[in-house]
């Protein structure tokens, strides 16, 4: 079966750093994504990892360990606009690039 776990909610302070963890168990693996979704809006792509290691993109970084079925999204220099849901998603190795999503982590950034 397919299972993606991430914390339901997190709270952090403006200017701080926050790490959102994700663990997954899927029938195969063809890459892991992080998407951001503001309330009432569509998800937007943040990052993609297919090899182990850290991918950095501005204030956002994403890490992957395939052997552990583990990823995290690191947000630095938090801003109020970063308050959103962060969705961890995996493409199982079905050859179809179908993407399976976790339930999302709702991040609240406080002043």
Partner 1 sequence: DTGVSQDPRHKITKRGQNVTFRCDPISEHNRLYWYRQTLGQGPEFLTYFQNEAQLEKSRLLSDRFSAERPKGSFSTLEIQRTEQGDSAMYLCASSLVRWRGADTGELFFGEGSRLTVL
Interface with partner 1 (CB under 8 A) = 4, 30-31, 33, 35, 41-45, 48, 50, 87, 89, 91, 94, 96-104
Q: Which is nearer to partner 1, 97 or 108 (CB)?
A: 97
Q: Which is nearer to partner 1, 6 or 109 (CB)?
A: 6
95 to each of 31, 47, 51, 84, 91, how far by Cα in Å? 12, 20, 17, 31, 9
Tell the smallest beta-carbon distance from residue 25 to partner 1 (Å).
16
């Amino acid at each position: 079966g397919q299972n993606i776990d991430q914390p339901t909610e997190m709270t952090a302070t403006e200017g701080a750093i926050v790490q959102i963890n994700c663990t997954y168990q899927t029938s195969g693996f063809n890459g892991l994504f992080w998407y951001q979704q503001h309330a009432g809006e569509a998800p937007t792509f943040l990052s993609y990892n297919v090899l182990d290691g850290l991918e950095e993109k501005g204030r956002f970084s994403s890490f992957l360990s395939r052997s552990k079925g583990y990823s995290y999204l690191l947000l630095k220099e938090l801003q109020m606009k970063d308050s959103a849901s962060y969705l961890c998603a995996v493409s199982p190795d079905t050859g179809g690039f179908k993407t399976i999503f976790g339930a999302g982590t709702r991040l609240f950034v406080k002043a």
